[in-house]
Amino acid sequence: MLGSMGMMINKIYNKILKNFWLNCSLTVIPSIFFLAIKVIGKNIGLVNKQDDLTFLGGILFSIFIFFTFAYGVIKSYCDCHMNSKKSETQNILQNVASSTTSVCNNKFHNLIEYIEKSSQKEKLPNIIRDTMKPEIQIKELLKELEICLNYVTGIGRDNIEISIFQKFDFWNKWECKYYRNTNSCEINNIVSDVRSTANQVINGQYDSLFFHDKRQAIEKNQYLPNVKDQASQNEGSIICLDMSLRKNNIKYISSVLNISTYGEKIISKDDKELKNKIKHFVIDPFLLRIKMELCNEYILELYNNQEFSKENKVIPIDSKVMNN
């Protein structure tokens, strides 16, 4: 009840701020009201000959004082609310920045070690596998994303499930190598079933899907419930984002980030602004870092495939040698 009243007050105040003349009137009138009564009050019957307020003047004065006080309270409440939102946004940004920075620090430390070894002319390790370590980095990023979602939404970390579905262009099938808070990643149904959220993103029907309530997604045939959903009566939210990487219309990496909550919703109502904030401030910074690590993993796979091909290459025997 109080929350809806607060939202209504905020809407009224925002409309006042957007209306130049109304905003000016409410700001200026309090400062000139008493002067106006003093100058023209007798002429319009608000003040008597003894400079006292008449009955009509008293009523108007009381009404004016009430509305001035009410506007002051509304203004103070809304300003406080706006400052609180700014502070909350700053806290979220600081938390995300701290999480992504910790991952970058790990990579920076590994690169410094690589430089140190190269300067000492040691036998250098594979820079991607042993220094950049994309698999470790992605796992760490998913962990930090889970921590940030827990901080922003208040949902218990055990109730936040994050997974990545990926397929490189030289792979025969989809894989789910990276996931949080699940013993295994059942990928076959998720990728192939047209009712699944991930399937609809993979097939290009949507770049992203964000359902604050899984029940709505199920009704629209856009979510495939699992055992954990059954245990939580389908209570929760689902976010699915495309992370595919293309260049010149060639898709090298097909990938989807899937975030699912159980028993608790990420947001309590279907609010587009709140959805955009969570995506923009919380998820997107991690999205770019994960894409970078997927690129590193792709390059590492290519490198390993090339090395394997070299080691197992069949060397043709010279026909002259055969004849001799």
CA atoms within 13 A on the CB side of 31: 5
Burial class (CB in 10 A: 0-12, 13-18, 19+), 177: middle
**Residue 238 and residue 306 in one domain:** yes
- Condensed to tens digits (0 to 9), the pLDDT of residues 5-40 reads 545 555 554 554 455 445 555 555 555 666 666 666
Residue 255 placed within a domain:
yes
pLDDT category of residue 153 using cuts at 50, 70 and 90: confident
- Condensed to tens digits (0 to 9), the pLDDT of residues 169-199 reads 999 899 999 999 876 567 878 888 999 999 9
Greater pLDDT, 148 or 82: 148
pLDDT of 277 above 50: yes
Long-range contacts of 91-94 (CB under 8 A, 24+ apart): 92/148, 92/151, 92/152, 92/281, 92/282, 93/281
φ and ψ at 5, to 5 degrees?
Answer: -65, -40
Q: How far apart are CA 49 and CA 45, in angstroms?
A: 10
**Domain end position, chosen among 35, 57, 84:** 84
pLDDT at residue 320 in the model = 36
* Cβ neighbour number for residue 201 with a 10 Å cutoff: 22
- Condensed to tens digits (0 to 9), the pLDDT of residues 77-130 reads 666 655 555 455 555 555 655 556 666 666 666 666 666 665 566 665 666 667
**Residue 156 and residue 214 in one domain:** yes
End-to-end CA, the chain: 98
Average pLDDT score over residue span 284-297: 88
pLDDT at residue 233 in the model = 94
**Residue 58 and residue 174 in one domain:** no
Residue 99 placed within a domain:
no
**Residue 204 and residue 147 in one domain:** yes
**Domain end position, chosen among 84, 116, 146:** 84
pLDDT category of residue 44 using cuts at 50, 70 and 90: low
CATH code of the domain in which 196 resides = 3.30.450
pLDDT of 324 above 50: no
* Cβ neighbour number for residue 114 with a 10 Å cutoff: 17
Residue 276 placed within a domain:
yes
Q: How far apart are CA 234 and CA 231, in angstroms?
A: 8
**Residue 169 and residue 50 in one domain:** no
**Residue 131 and residue 226 in one domain:** yes
Three-state DSSP state, 296? helix
**Residue 43 and residue 134 in one domain:** no
Three-state DSSP state, 257? strand
Judge if pTM exceeds 0.75.
no
Three-state DSSP state, 13? helix
pLDDT at residue 157 in the model = 92
pLDDT at residue 119 in the model = 57
Contact 149, 142 (CB under 8 A): no
Tally of residues, the chain = 324
**Residue 149 and residue 286 in one domain:** yes
Residue 50 placed within a domain:
yes
What residues have CB less than 8 Å from 258, skipping those under 6 apart?
Answer: 161, 162, 163, 164, 165, 190, 197, 198, 238, 239, 240
Greater pLDDT, 302 or 70: 302
**Domain end position, chosen among 30, 53, 84:** 84
Q: Name residue 168's beta-bridge partners.
A: 253
**Residue 157 and residue 300 in one domain:** yes
| Lowest mean per-residue pLDDT among 183-187, 198-202, 207-211, 268-272 | 183-187
Q: How far apart are CA 71 and CA 76, in angstroms?
A: 8
- Condensed to tens digits (0 to 9), the pLDDT of residues 53-73 reads 677 766 777 777 776 666 666
For 41, the token pair is 């009050």
pLDDT at residue 256 in the model = 96
Where in the sequence is the domain holding 162, given as residue range(s)?
Answer: 125-310
pLDDT at residue 97 in the model = 57
Residue 102 placed within a domain:
no
Contact 225, 208 (CB under 8 A): no
| Lowest mean per-residue pLDDT among 112-116, 154-158, 287-291 | 112-116
Q: How far apart are CA 300 and CA 306, in angstroms?
A: 10
Residue 16 placed within a domain:
yes
**Residue 185 and residue 291 in one domain:** yes
- Condensed to tens digits (0 to 9), the pLDDT of residues 218-267 reads 999 999 998 899 999 999 999 999 999 888 888 999 999 999 999 999 98
**Residue 71 and residue 145 in one domain:** no
Cα torsion 195, 197, 202, 204: sign: positive
Residue 166 placed within a domain:
yes
pLDDT at residue 181 in the model = 86
Q: Please state the domain count of the chain.
A: 2
Residue 322 placed within a domain:
no
**Residue 252 and residue 193 in one domain:** yes
